[in-house]
Amino acid sequence: MTVASSAAQAFRDAYGAEPTGLWAAPGRVNLIGEHTDYNDGFVLPFALPQHVVAAASPAEGTDWTVCSTFTEGSVSFGATQPGDVEGWAGYVAGIVWALQEAGFDVPPARIAFASDVPVGAGVSSSAALESATLTALVELGGLNLPVAERPALAQRAENLYVGAPTGIMDQSASIRCTEGRALFLDCRSLAVEQIPFDLAADGRAILIINSNAPHQHVDGEYGARRKSCEEAARILGVPALRDVTLDGLDAALARLDDDVTRRRVRHIVTENQRVLDTVELLRSGRIREIGPLMTASHASMRDDFEITVAQVDVAVEAALAAGAYGARMTGGGFGGCVLALIDADRADETTAAVERAYAEHEFTAPTTWSAVPGPGAARLP
Ligand code: GLA
Protein backbone atom coordinates (compact mmCIF):
# COMPACT_ATOMS: atom_id res chain seq x y z
CA MET A 1 0.00 0.00 0.00
CA THR A 2 1.34 3.46 -0.84
CA VAL A 3 1.58 6.17 1.80
CA ALA A 4 -1.28 7.99 0.07
CA SER A 5 -3.58 5.00 0.15
CA SER A 6 -2.68 4.31 3.80
CA ALA A 7 -3.63 7.87 4.71
CA ALA A 8 -6.92 7.61 2.79
CA GLN A 9 -7.68 4.26 4.44
CA ALA A 10 -6.87 5.64 7.91
CA PHE A 11 -9.23 8.54 7.20
CA ARG A 12 -12.07 6.17 6.20
CA ASP A 13 -11.44 3.95 9.25
CA ALA A 14 -11.41 6.86 11.70
CA TYR A 15 -14.11 9.10 10.27
CA GLY A 16 -16.28 6.78 8.15
CA ALA A 17 -16.11 8.98 5.04
CA GLU A 18 -13.96 9.75 2.04
CA PRO A 19 -11.39 12.57 2.52
CA THR A 20 -11.86 15.71 0.45
CA GLY A 21 -8.27 15.47 -0.67
CA LEU A 22 -4.75 14.17 -0.06
CA TRP A 23 -1.81 16.49 0.49
CA ALA A 24 1.81 15.27 0.49
CA ALA A 25 4.92 16.97 1.84
CA PRO A 26 8.42 15.46 1.68
CA GLY A 27 11.27 15.00 4.10
CA ARG A 28 14.59 16.51 2.99
CA VAL A 29 18.30 16.08 2.95
CA ASN A 30 20.65 19.02 2.75
CA LEU A 31 23.31 18.69 0.08
CA ILE A 32 25.47 21.31 1.77
CA GLY A 33 25.16 24.34 4.08
CA GLU A 34 24.72 23.13 7.66
CA HIS A 35 23.70 25.41 10.54
CA THR A 36 23.99 28.33 8.13
CA ASP A 37 20.22 28.96 7.99
CA TYR A 38 19.87 30.67 11.37
CA ASN A 39 22.99 32.70 10.55
CA ASP A 40 21.16 34.31 7.59
CA GLY A 41 23.33 32.23 5.25
CA PHE A 42 22.89 29.79 2.37
CA VAL A 43 21.57 26.23 2.18
CA LEU A 44 21.07 23.72 -0.65
CA PRO A 45 18.57 21.01 0.35
CA PHE A 46 16.58 18.70 -1.88
CA ALA A 47 13.32 16.89 -1.22
CA LEU A 48 13.31 13.16 -0.54
CA PRO A 49 10.91 10.84 -2.31
CA GLN A 50 9.59 9.90 1.15
CA HIS A 51 6.71 12.03 2.37
CA VAL A 52 3.97 12.63 4.89
CA VAL A 53 0.45 12.43 3.43
CA ALA A 54 -2.48 14.24 5.05
CA ALA A 55 -5.92 12.95 4.08
CA ALA A 56 -8.23 15.77 5.10
CA SER A 57 -11.76 17.15 5.02
CA PRO A 58 -13.41 20.23 6.50
CA ALA A 59 -15.29 19.46 9.73
CA GLU A 60 -18.45 20.76 11.41
CA GLY A 61 -17.97 22.72 14.63
CA THR A 62 -14.83 24.42 15.90
CA ASP A 63 -12.29 21.64 16.43
CA TRP A 64 -9.50 19.89 14.61
CA THR A 65 -9.30 16.11 14.93
CA VAL A 66 -6.18 14.23 13.88
CA CYS A 67 -5.17 10.59 13.76
CA SER A 68 -2.40 8.65 12.07
CA THR A 69 -1.21 5.24 11.00
CA PHE A 70 1.72 5.60 13.42
CA THR A 71 -0.26 6.11 16.65
CA GLU A 72 -3.37 4.72 18.31
CA GLY A 73 -6.53 6.78 18.71
CA SER A 74 -7.13 10.36 17.73
CA VAL A 75 -6.48 13.81 19.22
CA SER A 76 -8.99 16.69 19.14
CA PHE A 77 -8.29 20.30 19.96
CA GLY A 78 -9.87 23.71 19.54
CA ALA A 79 -8.00 26.99 19.74
CA THR A 80 -4.80 26.28 21.75
CA GLN A 81 -1.76 28.14 23.02
CA PRO A 82 1.88 27.10 22.46
CA GLY A 83 2.70 23.83 24.13
CA ASP A 84 -0.92 22.87 24.91
CA VAL A 85 -0.90 19.95 22.50
CA GLU A 86 2.16 17.71 22.88
CA GLY A 87 3.69 14.89 20.89
CA TRP A 88 3.34 14.62 17.11
CA ALA A 89 -0.12 16.29 17.12
CA GLY A 90 1.61 19.39 18.54
CA TYR A 91 3.09 20.05 15.10
CA VAL A 92 -0.41 20.07 13.64
CA ALA A 93 -1.81 22.26 16.44
CA GLY A 94 1.22 24.52 15.98
CA ILE A 95 0.32 25.11 12.34
CA VAL A 96 -3.30 25.90 13.25
CA TRP A 97 -2.02 28.30 15.93
CA ALA A 98 0.50 30.01 13.61
CA LEU A 99 -2.18 30.48 10.93
CA GLN A 100 -4.56 31.98 13.49
CA GLU A 101 -1.80 34.24 14.83
CA ALA A 102 -1.28 35.47 11.27
CA GLY A 103 -4.96 36.40 11.17
CA PHE A 104 -6.34 33.54 9.08
CA ASP A 105 -9.73 31.99 9.60
CA VAL A 106 -8.54 28.37 9.75
CA PRO A 107 -11.10 25.79 8.65
CA PRO A 108 -11.90 23.15 11.31
CA ALA A 109 -10.84 19.83 9.82
CA ARG A 110 -10.47 16.11 10.24
CA ILE A 111 -7.09 14.79 9.16
CA ALA A 112 -5.50 11.33 8.97
CA PHE A 113 -1.75 11.11 8.43
CA ALA A 114 0.53 8.43 7.03
CA SER A 115 4.27 8.75 6.46
CA ASP A 116 7.30 6.93 5.18
CA VAL A 117 9.76 9.63 6.26
CA PRO A 118 12.09 8.00 8.78
CA VAL A 119 11.72 9.56 12.24
CA GLY A 120 14.83 10.53 14.20
CA ALA A 121 17.07 10.24 11.13
CA GLY A 122 17.60 13.98 10.69
CA VAL A 123 15.58 14.13 7.46
CA SER A 124 12.89 16.48 8.80
CA SER A 125 9.91 14.26 9.39
CA SER A 126 8.49 17.03 11.59
CA ALA A 127 8.83 19.70 8.89
CA ALA A 128 7.12 17.29 6.49
CA LEU A 129 4.24 16.89 8.96
CA GLU A 130 3.95 20.65 9.38
CA SER A 131 4.14 21.29 5.65
CA ALA A 132 1.52 18.65 4.78
CA THR A 133 -0.80 20.13 7.42
CA LEU A 134 -0.23 23.68 6.23
CA THR A 135 -0.74 22.87 2.56
CA ALA A 136 -3.95 20.98 3.33
CA LEU A 137 -5.42 23.69 5.58
CA VAL A 138 -4.51 26.51 3.20
CA GLU A 139 -6.27 24.75 0.34
CA LEU A 140 -9.26 23.52 2.35
CA GLY A 141 -9.84 27.04 3.68
CA GLY A 142 -8.98 28.87 0.46
CA LEU A 143 -6.50 30.90 2.56
CA ASN A 144 -4.51 33.57 0.77
CA LEU A 145 -1.02 32.56 1.87
CA PRO A 146 1.51 32.64 -0.99
CA VAL A 147 3.84 29.64 -1.19
CA ALA A 148 6.88 31.87 -0.59
CA GLU A 149 5.46 32.90 2.81
CA ARG A 150 4.51 29.43 4.01
CA PRO A 151 7.93 28.23 5.30
CA ALA A 152 8.24 31.17 7.72
CA LEU A 153 4.78 30.45 9.10
CA ALA A 154 5.60 26.76 9.57
CA GLN A 155 8.89 27.75 11.20
CA ARG A 156 6.96 29.88 13.72
CA ALA A 157 4.93 26.79 14.62
CA GLU A 158 8.15 24.86 15.21
CA ASN A 159 9.95 27.67 17.10
CA LEU A 160 7.13 29.10 19.17
CA TYR A 161 4.54 26.34 19.54
CA VAL A 162 6.72 23.22 19.67
CA GLY A 163 9.65 25.18 21.13
CA ALA A 164 12.53 24.02 18.92
CA PRO A 165 14.90 26.90 18.00
CA THR A 166 15.49 25.76 14.40
CA GLY A 167 16.12 27.80 11.26
CA ILE A 168 13.99 28.01 8.14
CA MET A 169 15.68 25.37 5.99
CA ASP A 170 13.54 22.31 6.65
CA GLN A 171 10.14 23.90 6.07
CA SER A 172 11.51 25.72 3.01
CA ALA A 173 12.76 22.45 1.59
CA SER A 174 9.53 20.58 2.22
CA ILE A 175 7.41 23.36 0.72
CA ARG A 176 9.55 24.88 -2.03
CA CYS A 177 11.70 22.06 -3.47
CA THR A 178 11.02 20.85 -7.00
CA GLU A 179 11.67 17.52 -8.69
CA GLY A 180 15.14 17.01 -10.15
CA ARG A 181 16.50 20.13 -8.50
CA ALA A 182 18.21 21.29 -5.35
CA LEU A 183 16.84 24.40 -3.66
CA PHE A 184 19.40 27.20 -3.32
CA LEU A 185 17.95 29.35 -0.55
CA ASP A 186 19.27 32.63 0.74
CA CYS A 187 18.02 32.48 4.33
CA ARG A 188 18.17 36.27 4.69
CA SER A 189 16.26 37.44 1.63
CA LEU A 190 14.42 34.10 1.28
CA ALA A 191 15.18 34.26 -2.46
CA VAL A 192 15.30 30.81 -4.02
CA GLU A 193 16.84 29.38 -7.14
CA GLN A 194 16.06 25.89 -8.39
CA ILE A 195 19.44 24.37 -9.24
CA PRO A 196 19.46 21.48 -11.77
CA PHE A 197 20.65 18.32 -10.04
CA ASP A 198 20.08 15.53 -12.51
CA LEU A 199 22.14 12.81 -10.90
CA ALA A 200 20.94 10.01 -13.15
CA ALA A 201 21.83 11.84 -16.38
CA ASP A 202 25.35 12.27 -14.99
CA GLY A 203 25.63 8.60 -14.01
CA ARG A 204 25.82 9.50 -10.32
CA ALA A 205 23.71 8.85 -7.24
CA ILE A 206 23.43 10.20 -3.74
CA LEU A 207 23.57 7.29 -1.35
CA ILE A 208 21.84 8.16 1.91
CA ILE A 209 23.30 6.32 4.85
CA ASN A 210 21.18 6.48 7.99
CA SER A 211 23.73 6.04 10.77
CA ASN A 212 20.97 4.77 13.07
CA ALA A 213 22.99 6.38 15.87
CA PRO A 214 20.82 7.23 18.86
CA HIS A 215 20.17 10.99 18.76
CA GLN A 216 21.52 12.35 22.02
CA HIS A 217 21.54 15.86 23.48
CA VAL A 218 20.32 17.14 20.13
CA ASP A 219 18.13 19.96 21.41
CA GLY A 220 20.60 21.32 23.96
CA GLU A 221 23.59 21.12 21.62
CA TYR A 222 21.65 22.73 18.76
CA GLY A 223 20.60 25.62 20.98
CA ALA A 224 24.17 26.00 22.28
CA ARG A 225 25.54 26.24 18.70
CA ARG A 226 22.96 28.82 17.82
CA LYS A 227 23.77 30.86 20.92
CA SER A 228 27.51 30.81 20.20
CA CYS A 229 26.91 32.05 16.66
CA GLU A 230 24.64 34.85 17.85
CA GLU A 231 27.09 35.84 20.54
CA ALA A 232 29.95 35.91 18.00
CA ALA A 233 27.89 38.12 15.66
CA ARG A 234 27.23 40.47 18.57
CA ILE A 235 30.93 40.71 19.45
CA LEU A 236 31.83 41.28 15.80
CA GLY A 237 29.14 43.94 15.46
CA VAL A 238 27.34 42.33 12.51
CA PRO A 239 23.63 41.43 12.22
CA ALA A 240 24.51 37.76 11.58
CA LEU A 241 27.57 35.63 10.74
CA ARG A 242 26.43 35.79 7.11
CA ASP A 243 28.00 39.24 7.12
CA VAL A 244 31.51 37.91 7.80
CA THR A 245 33.11 37.22 4.42
CA LEU A 246 35.80 34.67 3.71
CA ASP A 247 38.22 37.54 3.03
CA GLY A 248 37.38 39.08 6.38
CA LEU A 249 37.53 35.80 8.29
CA ASP A 250 41.05 36.08 9.71
CA ALA A 251 40.43 39.60 10.94
CA ALA A 252 37.14 38.50 12.52
CA LEU A 253 38.78 35.51 14.23
CA ALA A 254 41.49 37.75 15.63
CA ARG A 255 38.80 39.72 17.44
CA LEU A 256 37.43 36.66 19.26
CA ASP A 257 39.13 35.49 22.46
CA ASP A 258 37.54 32.13 22.81
CA ASP A 259 38.88 29.26 20.71
CA VAL A 260 35.55 27.40 20.62
CA THR A 261 33.73 30.50 19.36
CA ARG A 262 36.43 31.05 16.74
CA ARG A 263 35.93 27.56 15.40
CA ARG A 264 32.13 27.95 15.32
CA VAL A 265 32.54 31.13 13.29
CA ARG A 266 35.04 29.52 10.94
CA HIS A 267 32.58 26.73 10.20
CA ILE A 268 29.75 29.10 9.32
CA VAL A 269 31.85 31.40 7.15
CA THR A 270 33.59 28.62 5.23
CA GLU A 271 30.36 26.62 4.94
CA ASN A 272 28.53 29.55 3.33
CA GLN A 273 31.32 29.77 0.76
CA ARG A 274 31.11 26.03 0.13
CA VAL A 275 27.40 26.38 -0.66
CA LEU A 276 28.14 29.16 -3.15
CA ASP A 277 30.94 27.09 -4.73
CA THR A 278 28.69 24.03 -4.96
CA VAL A 279 25.94 26.05 -6.65
CA GLU A 280 28.48 27.42 -9.15
CA LEU A 281 29.60 23.90 -10.08
CA LEU A 282 26.05 22.56 -10.36
CA ARG A 283 24.99 25.48 -12.56
CA SER A 284 27.51 24.23 -15.09
CA GLY A 285 26.57 20.58 -14.60
CA ARG A 286 29.84 19.60 -12.87
CA ILE A 287 28.21 17.27 -10.36
CA ARG A 288 31.22 15.07 -9.64
CA GLU A 289 33.33 18.06 -8.71
CA ILE A 290 31.18 18.96 -5.71
CA GLY A 291 32.55 15.88 -3.90
CA PRO A 292 35.55 17.60 -2.28
CA LEU A 293 33.30 20.43 -1.04
CA MET A 294 31.02 17.87 0.63
CA THR A 295 33.97 16.19 2.31
CA ALA A 296 35.40 19.55 3.43
CA SER A 297 31.99 20.41 4.87
CA HIS A 298 32.06 17.21 6.89
CA ALA A 299 35.53 17.97 8.26
CA SER A 300 34.35 21.42 9.26
CA MET A 301 31.29 20.01 11.07
CA ARG A 302 33.49 17.44 12.79
CA ASP A 303 36.43 19.62 13.82
CA ASP A 304 35.09 23.18 14.03
CA PHE A 305 31.36 22.95 14.70
CA GLU A 306 31.70 19.65 16.59
CA ILE A 307 28.31 18.21 15.71
CA THR A 308 29.25 14.79 14.37
CA VAL A 309 29.40 11.47 16.20
CA ALA A 310 31.59 8.40 15.61
CA GLN A 311 28.93 6.63 13.54
CA VAL A 312 28.68 9.41 10.96
CA ASP A 313 32.46 9.93 10.84
CA VAL A 314 32.97 6.22 10.20
CA ALA A 315 30.30 6.20 7.48
CA VAL A 316 31.97 9.15 5.72
CA GLU A 317 35.42 7.54 5.90
CA ALA A 318 34.17 4.16 4.71
CA ALA A 319 32.23 5.68 1.79
CA LEU A 320 35.27 7.72 0.72
CA ALA A 321 37.55 4.68 1.01
CA ALA A 322 35.06 2.80 -1.20
CA GLY A 323 35.48 5.45 -3.91
CA ALA A 324 32.78 8.06 -3.17
CA TYR A 325 33.52 11.48 -4.72
CA GLY A 326 32.52 13.14 -1.48
CA ALA A 327 30.59 12.41 1.70
CA ARG A 328 29.16 14.40 4.57
CA MET A 329 26.69 14.27 7.40
CA THR A 330 23.44 16.10 6.62
CA GLY A 331 21.09 17.87 9.03
CA GLY A 332 21.40 19.18 12.56
CA GLY A 333 23.95 16.61 13.72
CA PHE A 334 24.64 14.22 16.61
CA GLY A 335 23.58 11.28 14.46
CA GLY A 336 21.27 11.22 11.47
CA CYS A 337 22.26 10.57 7.89
CA VAL A 338 25.37 10.77 5.74
CA LEU A 339 25.19 11.61 2.02
CA ALA A 340 27.74 10.01 -0.29
CA LEU A 341 28.11 11.12 -3.91
CA ILE A 342 28.92 7.99 -5.88
CA ASP A 343 28.80 6.49 -9.35
CA ALA A 344 25.28 5.21 -9.80
CA ASP A 345 26.44 1.59 -10.11
CA ARG A 346 28.44 1.69 -6.85
CA ALA A 347 25.56 1.79 -4.34
CA ASP A 348 25.87 -1.86 -3.28
CA GLU A 349 29.67 -1.78 -2.89
CA THR A 350 29.51 1.46 -0.94
CA THR A 351 26.77 0.11 1.33
CA ALA A 352 28.76 -3.08 1.91
CA ALA A 353 31.87 -1.07 2.81
CA VAL A 354 29.96 1.02 5.35
CA GLU A 355 28.32 -2.10 6.79
CA ARG A 356 31.73 -3.75 7.24
CA ALA A 357 33.12 -0.68 8.98
CA TYR A 358 30.06 -0.55 11.27
CA ALA A 359 30.46 -4.23 12.13
CA GLU A 360 34.13 -3.65 13.01
CA HIS A 361 33.13 -0.82 15.34
CA GLU A 362 30.21 -2.84 16.75
CA PHE A 363 27.76 -0.11 15.75
CA THR A 364 24.10 -0.87 15.02
CA ALA A 365 23.92 -1.58 11.26
CA PRO A 366 23.20 1.41 8.99
CA THR A 367 20.26 1.67 6.59
CA THR A 368 20.92 2.98 3.09
CA TRP A 369 18.99 4.07 0.04
CA SER A 370 19.70 6.11 -3.09
CA ALA A 371 17.69 9.28 -3.48
CA VAL A 372 16.95 11.61 -6.34
CA PRO A 373 15.37 15.02 -5.72
CA GLY A 374 11.59 14.71 -5.43
CA PRO A 375 8.78 17.30 -5.53
CA GLY A 376 7.80 19.67 -2.74
CA ALA A 377 4.48 19.84 -0.91
CA ALA A 378 1.39 19.52 -3.13
CA ARG A 379 -2.10 18.14 -3.39
CA LEU A 380 -2.06 14.65 -4.84
CA PRO A 381 -4.18 14.01 -7.94
C1 GLA B 1 18.03 21.23 11.67
C2 GLA B 1 17.24 22.53 11.72
C3 GLA B 1 17.54 23.40 10.50
C4 GLA B 1 19.04 23.57 10.28
C5 GLA B 1 19.75 22.22 10.36
C6 GLA B 1 21.24 22.35 10.31
O7 GLA B 1 17.58 20.45 10.60
O8 GLA B 1 15.86 22.26 11.77
O9 GLA B 1 16.90 24.65 10.64
O10 GLA B 1 19.58 24.47 11.20
O11 GLA B 1 19.41 21.50 11.52
O12 GLA B 1 21.65 22.84 9.08
pLDDT confidence band for 321 (50 / 70 / 90): very high
Instruction: Evaluate: CB of 172 within 6 angstroms of ligand 1.
Output: no
Ligand 1 contact, 330 CB (< 6 A): no
Annotated catalytic, 170? yes
Point out the least confidently predicted range of 89-98, 208-217, 309-318, 320-329.
Answer: 208-217
Distance 59 CA to ligand 1 centre (A): 34
From the CA of 127, give the closest atom in ligand 1: 8
CB of residue 170 inside a 6 A radius of ligand 1? yes
Mutation test residue for ligand 1: of 169, 175, 306, 337, the one with most atoms within 8 Å of CB: 169
Task: State pTM to two decimals.
Answer: 0.97
**Domains delineated in the chain:** 3-196 (3.30.230.10), 199-371 (3.30.70.890)
pLDDT above 90 as % of the chain:
98
Q: How far is it, in rounded angstroms, from Cα 356 to Cα 336?
A: 19
- Considering only CA atoms, which of 50, 48, 46 is closest in space to residue 3? 50
Per-residue pLDDT reduced to its tens digit, 349-381 = 999 999 999 999 999 999 999 999 999 999 999
Distance CA 264, CA 260 (A): 6
**Residue range 202-213, pLDDT digits in tens:** 999 999 999 999
- Shortest-distance Cα residue to atom 10 of ligand 1: 35
Please report, rounded to a whole number, the percentage of residues in the chain having pLDDT higher than 70. 99
CA distance 265 to 24: 37
The answer, yes or no, to whether any atom of ligand 1 lies below 6 A from the CB of 158, is no
Q: pLDDT band for position 193 (50/70/90)?
A: very high
Ligand 1 pocket, residue 130 CB under 6 Å: no
- Kindly report, residue by residue over 69-102, the tens digit of the pLDDT: 999 999 999 999 999 999 999 999 999 999 999 9
Contact between 341 and 291 under an 8 Å Cβ cutoff? The reply is yes
Q: Which one, of 346, 196, 339, 338, lies nearest residue 281 by Cα?
A: 196
Whether 151 is in the pocket of ligand 1, judged by its Cβ within 6 Å, is: no
How far is residue 39 from each of residues 167, 219, 225, 244, measured CA to CA in Å?
A: 8, 17, 11, 10
Within 13 A of 207's CA, how many CA atoms are on the CB side?
33
Q: Which atom of ligand 1 is nearest to the CA of 169?
A: 9
Give residue 315 CA to ligand 1 midpoint distance, Å: 20
Q: What is the pLDDT of residue 342?
A: 98
**Which is catalytic among the residues 37, 40, 170, 304?**
170
pLDDT tens string 31-53? 999 999 999 999 999 999 999 99
Across all residues in the chain, what is the average pLDDT?
97
Res. 225: pLDDT tops 80 = yes
Instruction: Specify the residue with its C-alpha closest to ligand 1, atom 9.
Output: 167
Distance of CA 91 from the midpoint of ligand 1 (Å): 16
